[in-house]
């Protein structure tokens, strides 16, 4: 089979007689036979032809038996293919549709950026001076996706193409969230795994699986060492931030050892247990003393920044100790008469105890080395409802930025853990608006940390303790409001289910179900309304309003956690280790590798 050097040799379809005598007048022709003409038919072949895959020319030849001047199929006696050469490169015109496409160019740019970021990552151990662990409580993959879209739409975009701050981090992986004794976990067991490197049972804080929940004495010998404690022993500054009560399971795992996550203050403990174990709030205030007692001969200076909610667990059950913004007639819960805020102030006379926005704003990071901030009687407000706080309270991003400004005064670096605790609470209430707006604020807090630190010396890990039974479903068109009803591609009216009623894109597999509370921004108000099972006609309901609670398939008083994997995102020294699917306890080991926490703490103890 011949090859053409140039495709242009394949001329358009042509009919040509051969040169020489055509054999007319009964004479044998030079090129014909018995007075017949010899004809050649050339047919151009398109790319993809079965014989010439890259195109070419098919050349048929034969005698014009019927003397009509045309070569018919039955007159063809010989066929030859002249194929175009194999294409080894494409011209700019050949790939214009691809190369000029926005998705294609964005992908190319992303590869270049990823290569640049990866090249900057310090891969040797001990290169991280600072470590920040961000935990979006209950922030499963569907929550990240929906929050990304919601924030994008709030900025005038279609939404799906938007990125949250941690979406841009160069490394990511997955975390398996189960507890040792539970397929679907809770925050106590999961955060203990992340911050101490050991998976444990549901409901226990800072202790290994050998402890029995609710049995104080069973924790003896089962106490784990958290990354915060290791950092403290290594001479680093340490901080804990949460929008939940600071004694809640996730933040408590950084500093406490408890057989029950619910033992937030002494009034929560059975008397028999309180005689032998210290409640979680008391352990926070006595963090320095307890750590020095556990590791004899060390000298630490205690937690430097503590910010969150939960004042009730630090104050006596006496109205005389009520704060200015107390919601309950008696704010404090403690039955032992102790005012732990006063005890903290006595330990750190130069430290600042604050309880509102004014006090927070007055903190001068350059002149402050200790801050204890309790902004609410119980949990802090949902971000969507924060403006309604009686005394005012800072956002998670504001707390994160100020904490870093204080902690980075230490030349040895710092360890900080930041929890967006109310993502979880919004989901439990069945209110996607609350959960997603708190996730967006969480993303802003991560961005604040990225802005205030350097990839060269700060490892930032962003993850979740567990997921929720929160779904994104249906076939809505691109840019359809993520909190809205499903509207199909090319449609302008909501799609209808088999029951003839519209349905929302996001929803819950279980929980309290539908409620329409309009502009109400406090998702906890939903608990004061009945559980609604089954479908509701949403035709006239504004499902994007803060007070709309999504339908749930299985009616429960509170929506539950889910058991699937959650994401891990990382930047900075050691971030390259965050890849693939991992046990949740692996996160601690990444932080340890990056900052040499165990090695440095061990040197201090010896």
The residue among 38, 119, 138, 180 whose CA lies nearest residue 508 is: 138
User: What residues of the chain score a pLDDT lower than 70?
Assistant: 1-34, 90
Strand partners, 353: 372
pLDDT at 33: 58
DSSP annotation string for 5-74:
SSGGGSPSSEEEEPSS----TTPPPSSSBTTBPEEEEEEEE-TT-SS-TT-EEEEEEEE-TT-SSS--GG
Task: Tell me how far apart the alpha carbons of residues 586 and 574 are, in angstroms, rounded to a whole number.
Answer: 13
Strand 371-374 and strand 352-354: the pairing is parallel
How distant, in Å, are the alpha carbons of 6, 250, 365 from that of 86?
11, 63, 69
Report the CATH fold assignment for 122-312+341-469+576-605.
Alkaline Phosphatase, subunit A (3.40.720)
Quick one: how far is CA 241 from the chain centroid?
Answer: 19
E strand or H helix that includes residue 171: strand 171-176
- Residue ranges for the binding site for Zn(2+)? 137, 424, 428, 465-466, 561
pLDDT at 3: 35
pLDDT digits (tens, 9 = 90+) for 427-465: 999 999 999 999 999 999 999 999 999 999 999 999 999
Q: Where are the domains of the chain?
A: 39-83, 122-312+341-469+576-605, 471-559
Q: For the stretch 491-511, what's the b/e string if a residue is b when 16 or more beta carbons lie within 10 angstroms of its beta carbon?
A: eeebeeeeeeebbbbbbbebb
Residue 253 burial by Cβ neighbours in a 10 Å radius (0-12, 13-18, 19+)? buried
Residues 105, 107, 113, 114, Cα dihedral to 10°: -170
pTM of the model: 0.86
pLDDT at 34: 66
Residue 511 has φ and ψ, to the nearest 5°, of 130, -165
Strand spans (E) along 262-315: 305-309
Helix axes 597-605, 586-595, angle to 10 degrees: 70
Tokens at 430, concatenated: 């069945």
- Residue ranges for the binding site? 137, 248, 250, 419, 424, 428, 465-466, 561
The residue among 235, 344, 352 whose CA lies nearest residue 300 is: 235
User: Which residues are annotated as catalytic?
Assistant: 187
């Amino acid at each position: 089979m011949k090859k053409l050097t140039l495709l242009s040799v394949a001329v358009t379809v042509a009919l040509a007689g051969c040169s020489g005598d055509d054999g007319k007048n009964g004479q044998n022709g030079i090129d014909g036979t018995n007075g017949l003409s010899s004809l050649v038919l050339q047919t151009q072949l398109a790319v993809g032809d079965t014989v010439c895959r890259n195109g070419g020319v098919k050349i048929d030849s034969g005698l014009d038996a019927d003397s009509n001047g045309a070569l018919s199929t039955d007159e063809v006696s010989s066929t030859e293919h002249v194929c175009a050469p194999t294409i080894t490169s494409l011209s700019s015109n050949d790939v214009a549709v691809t190369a000029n496409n926005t998705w294609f160019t964005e992908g190319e740019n992303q590869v270049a950026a990823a290569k640049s970021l990866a090249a900057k990552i310090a891969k040797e151990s001990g290169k991280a001076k600072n470590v920040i662990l961000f935990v979006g409580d209950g922030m499963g993959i569907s929550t990240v996706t929906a929050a990304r879209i919601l924030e994008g739409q709030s900025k005038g975009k279609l939404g799906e193409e938007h990125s949250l701050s941690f979406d841009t981090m160069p490394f990511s992986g997955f975390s398996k969230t189960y507890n040792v004794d539970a397929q679907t976990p809770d925050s106590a067991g999961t955060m203990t795994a992340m911050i101490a490197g050991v998976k444990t049972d549901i409901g226990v804080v800072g202790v290994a699986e050998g402890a029995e929940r609710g049995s104080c004495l069973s924790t003896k010998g089962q106490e784990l060492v958290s990354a915060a404690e290791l950092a403290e022993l290594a001479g680093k500054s340490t901080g804990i931030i949460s929008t939940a009560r600071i004694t809640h399971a996730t933040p408590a795992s950084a500093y406490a050892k408890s057989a029950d996550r619910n033992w937030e203050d002494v009034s929560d403990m059975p008397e028999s247990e309180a005689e032998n174990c210290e409640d979680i709030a008391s352990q926070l205030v006595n963090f320095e003393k307890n750590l020095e007692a556990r590791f004899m001969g060390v000298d630490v200076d205690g937690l430097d920044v503590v910010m969150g909610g939960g004042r009730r667990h630090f104050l006596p059950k006496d109205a005389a100790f009520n704060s200015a913004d107390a919601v309950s007639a008696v704010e404090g819960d403690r039955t032992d008469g102790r005012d732990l805020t006063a005890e903290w102030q006595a330990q750190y006379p130069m430290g600042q105890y604050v309880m509102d926005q004014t006090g927070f704003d007055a903190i001068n990071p350059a002149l402050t080395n200790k801050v204890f901030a309790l902004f609410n009687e119980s949990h802090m407000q949902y971000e969507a409802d924060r403006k309604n706080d009686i005394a005012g309270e800072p956002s998670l991003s504001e707390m994160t930025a100020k904490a870093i400004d204080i902690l980075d005064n230490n030349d040895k670096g710092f360890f900080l853990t930041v929890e967006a605790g109310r993502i979880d609470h919004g989901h439990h209430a069945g209110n996607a608006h609350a959960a997603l707006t708190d996730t967006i604020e969480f993303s802003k807090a991560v961005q604040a940390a990225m802005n205030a630190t350097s990839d060269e010396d700060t490892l930032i890990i962003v993850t979740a303790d567990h997921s929720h039974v929160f779904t994104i479903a249906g076939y809505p068109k691109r840019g359809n409001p993520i909190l809205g009803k499903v509207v199909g591609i090319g449609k302008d009216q909501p799609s209808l289910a088999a029951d003839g009623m519209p349905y929302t894109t996001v929803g819950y597999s279980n929980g309290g179900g539908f409620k329409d509370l309009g502009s109400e921004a406090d998702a906890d108000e939903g608990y004061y309304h009945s559980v609604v099972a089954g479908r509701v006609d949403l035709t006239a309901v504004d499902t994007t309003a803060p007070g709309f609670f999504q339908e749930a398939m299985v009616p429960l008083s509170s929506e539950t956690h889910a058991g699937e994997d959650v994401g891990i995102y990382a930047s900075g020294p050691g971030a390259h280790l965050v890849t693939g699917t991992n046990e949740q306890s692996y996160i601690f080991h990444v932080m340890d590798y990056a900052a040499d926490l165990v090695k440095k703490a061990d040197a201090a103890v010896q």
